[in-house]
Copies of this chain bind each other. A is one copy, B any other.
Amino acid sequence: MTGTRAYHHGDLRRALLAAALEAIEEVGPGALSLRDLARRAGVSHAAPAHHFGDKAGLLTALAAQGFDLLAQTLSEARDDLLGAGVAYVDFAVRHRAHFEVMFRPELYRTDDAEVVTAQGRARAALRAGVAALPTRGTPADPDRDSLAAWSIAHGFATLWLAGALPDRVGEDPREAARAVLRRLVT
């Protein structure tokens, strides 16, 4: 049941997804090898195909999982721009593998049903989180506002993950993100 079973592995699908997350953290989603995952799980090289069809199938499952996780994370965050933005960046750093797959549509099937619904959940949570920026002068436009908030959080997260930011931003992504996001909210 819970254990690591023999021949009929018992939980191979979950084991492969977990192994995939590990592998992606090490080499990135592009260099992911199904055969390597099979080795990590101790099964034959063709076993993954049964559960996911092909590599895109596996990454599709990961993407759906990732969007669900993001939706959950955002809905638990503080209900303002700063809280949601920091939570977004934190998610990207802590769930790097998921995040990197989610925003690389060429790697998976974006029209997959589970992906689409999970994406919808994440999108809704995002909009609820950033609510509305305090607007000055210009008439409020919630669409533009949430787009701006999403952009700055996503950009910071992406640059952080790419290692493109100067050392001076420090070691703590949450703290650094808060300082940057504050520029939008002040």
Contact = CB atoms under 8 A, between A and B. Distances in A.
Contact of A168 (B105, B143, B157): B143
Given A106-B30, A137-B186, A158-B158, A151 B163 contact: no
Contacts of A181: 148
Measured as residues with beta carbon below 8 angstroms from the partner, the interface class of chain A is 35 or more
B155 A103 contact: no
A169 B133 CA distance: 18
Interface in A162-176: 162-165, 168-169
Contacts of A27: 106
A150 interface: yes
A18 interface: no
B103 A158 contact: yes
Contacts of A151: 151-153, 155-156, 159, 180
A165 B184 contact: no
Contacts of A157: 155
